[in-house]
Amino acid sequence: MKLFLFIFTTAIAIISIAFSDTILARIGPLTDLLHRNHNNQTTVTTSSSNSQTTGSTSFEGLPVIPPTEIYGEPKAEAMSVPRAIRKAFLAIQQSEGVGAKVRRSIGTPQLRNFSPFLMLDHFTSSPGSGFPDHPHRGQETITYLLSGAVDHEDFAGNKGTIEAGDLQFMTAGRGIMHAEMPRELSDGSPVVGMQLWVDLPEKLKMCEPRYRDLRASEIPQVKTDDGKVNIKVISGQSHGVDSVKELAYTPVWIFDIEVQPGGKITQPIPAGWNAFAYTLAGTTSFGSGEEKTEVGQFHNVVFEQAGDTVTAAVAADATEPGHFYLVAGLPLDQKVVQYGPFVLNSQEQVYNALRDYQNHQNGFERAKGWQSEIGKRMMQ
C-alpha cells in the first residue's frame, strides 16, 4: 500500500488536467456559510448507518432554490420554454481505479467547461476492484448506487456503507483522504453506480469536509402520466414534490426517471442552470416537435441553457422503459484548475494542495501514515 501511495502521489504531481470555465452566473458573498464552517473544525458524517459521527449532526446545506443574497437574482426567463438539445454522445467505457470500469461523459473532450459539473462516471466494479486510498480537495462528489453495495472509510475514522438506491454526498473542502470499495456480493455480480463531481464556490474551497448519506427510503417519489412515469426526487422539485433539502453546498437538482412505453414527462428546470440527462436503459426521445431526438443507452444528452423545461417520452411500441438520470446545476462564475483529485481556481492553489498533501498539513494532517482497512482488501 505504501508503494501504491507513493506511485499515486508521484502521478498526481506529474499529471495535470487543467481547464478553465467562465459561465454567466453571479456568486455573492458567502460569509455566513464560511463562518459556520470555520466554527466546525471536525469532519461531519450524518447517517444512522455510519459507525462514527463527530461534531454537529446537522448538515448545513443550501435550500432547493438558493437564496438570492448568496447566489444573486435568477435569470429572467419566460415560463414553460422547452430546452433544446445541444449535443448527445455515447459515453465510452474505460478503466479507472484498480480494476474498475467507467463510462465517463463529463470531463472528457466531448464535454468540458460545463459548470458546476466536473466529471460524471457510470462505474462498474467487479469483485477485487475498487478505489483504494486517495485524496480530494475543492469539490463535492455525489455517488448514486444502482446495484450492489459500497463501503466507505476516511482518515477521520468515519465508516459507512451505501446500498442500491442510496446516495452519498461528500464535500471534500480543504482536504479528505478516503477509500471507496465495492462489497463483494455472494453471487459475484458487479457493483454499478453513478459518481458526479461538482465544483465548490471559490469561497468554500477550504471549508471543512462533510458527508450526507441519503437512503433510498428517504427519497420521495411521484408518478405522473397515469402512472407511466416514475420520478425519484433525489434533489430539487418535481410535480409538487420536494426533496430532502440539505444535501450539498453547490445547488443541484437530481432526478432518477423511468418512463414506460407510451409515457411522457415535462420536468421544470431552474432558468439559467446547466442540465444534462444520462440514459441508463432503453430508448428515450428528448425534446419536442422537430427537435425531438431519440437517444439510446449510455448516452449523455446535454441541453441548451435557454429554457426552463426538459421533455422526454418513450414510444408506445417500445419493448422496454426508458430510464435516465436528469441533473441540473447552478453555473459558477470562476476559473477551474484541476490536477487529478484537486480542483481549485489557480495553478498556485493546486501547487499548494500538492504540497499540503505531501507534507500532511492544512487539512491533510491525518493522512500521515493512514491506511484504510477496506483498502487493504486490494493487498489480499
* Residue 175 and residue 32 share a domain: yes
* Residue 112 and residue 21 share a domain: yes
* Residue 113 and residue 193 share a domain: yes
Range of the domain at 261: 221-329
* Residue 355 and residue 228 share a domain: no
**pLDDT per position as a tens digit, 66-83:** 555 545 555 544 458 999
Quote the mean pLDDT of the chain.
83
> In this predicted structure, what is the pLDDT of residue 262?
98
pLDDT band at residue 99, thresholds of 50, 70 and 90? confident
- CATH code, domain carrying 22: 2.60.120.10
336 in Cβ contact with 20 (< 8 Å): yes
> In this predicted structure, what is the pLDDT of residue 31?
35
* Residue 325 and residue 349 share a domain: no
pLDDT band at residue 224, thresholds of 50, 70 and 90? very high
* Residue 312 and residue 293 share a domain: yes
Q: Cα separation of 256 and 157, whole Å?
A: 31
* Residue 132 and residue 15 share a domain: yes
According to the per-residue pLDDT averaged within each range, which of 45-54, 179-188, 255-264 is highest?
255-264
Q: Is the per-residue pLDDT at 104 higher than 60? A: yes
Domain count across the chain: 2
* Residue 351 and residue 285 share a domain: no
pLDDT band at residue 376, thresholds of 50, 70 and 90? confident
Query: pTM to 2 decimals?
Result: 0.81
Q: Cα separation of 137 and 349, whole Å?
A: 10
How many C-beta atoms lie closer than 10 Å to residue 297's C-beta? Answer: 17
**pLDDT per position as a tens digit, 168-192:** 999 999 999 999 988 877 787 889 9
Q: Return the C-alpha cell found at 210.
A: 462533510
Among 63-72, 156-165, 240-249, 314-323, the least confident range: 63-72
17 in Cβ contact with 109 (< 8 Å): no
* Residue 278 and residue 250 share a domain: yes
**pLDDT per position as a tens digit, 290-331:** 889 999 999 999 999 999 999 999 999 999 999 999 999 999
* Residue 189 and residue 178 share a domain: yes
* Residue 136 and residue 13 share a domain: yes
Mean pLDDT throughout 33-55?
A: 39
Q: Cα separation of 119 and 103, whole Å?
A: 11
